[in-house]
Amino acid sequence: MLRFINPIPFVRDINRSKEFYNKLLGLKIIEDAGNFVLFESGFAIHEGRSLEQTVWRQTRDGAESYGRRNWLLYFEHGDVDDAFEKIAPHVELIHSVEEQAWGQRVFRFTIRMGTR
């Protein structure tokens, strides 16, 4: 069964965003990996350029603000291969199951709008 973990917006300036959520909104930081920050509430932020490279294997040029392709919804499943087999035929894959630099096996996709 898939279990929703958290939303992760891409941010242009990780330090400014971290300060906003921590100092202004009062969210307690429980993990700070430099380009990724997890708050006690389960909310997380990720520095956009590094996450673009991880997800799409490229980064966008320019310093425009994010407006599309700037959120991940993070789910976990006890059997990632089983989840992939069930989900892959119904979505647009960004990439199939692969191991990330930090050891986690993941696949990424977008939802095909207008289909069932």
Residue 25's nearest CA partner among 6, 36, 41, 12 is 41
Query: What is the chain's pLDDT, residue by residue, as a tens digit (116 residues)?
Result: 888 888 888 888 899 889 888 998 888 999 999 989 999 988 899 888 877 776 767 666 655 555 556 667 788 889 999 999 988 988 889 899 999 888 889 998 876 655 44
pTM above 0.85, yes or no: no
For residue 97, the surrounding DSSP H or E stretch is strand 91-99
Residue 48's nearest CA partner among 93, 9, 75 is 9
Instruction: Output the CATH code of domain 1-76.
Output: 3.10.180.10
Q: Give me the pLDDT at residue 63, please.
A: 58
Q: What whole-number distance in Å separates Cα of residue 56 and Cα of residue 52? A: 6
DSSP string, 42-72: S-EEEEHHHHHHHHHSS--SS-PPP-SS-EE
For residue 29, the surrounding DSSP H or E stretch is strand 29-32
Q: Give me the pLDDT at residue 115, please.
A: 45
Residue ranges of the chain that CATH labels 3.10.180.10: 1-76
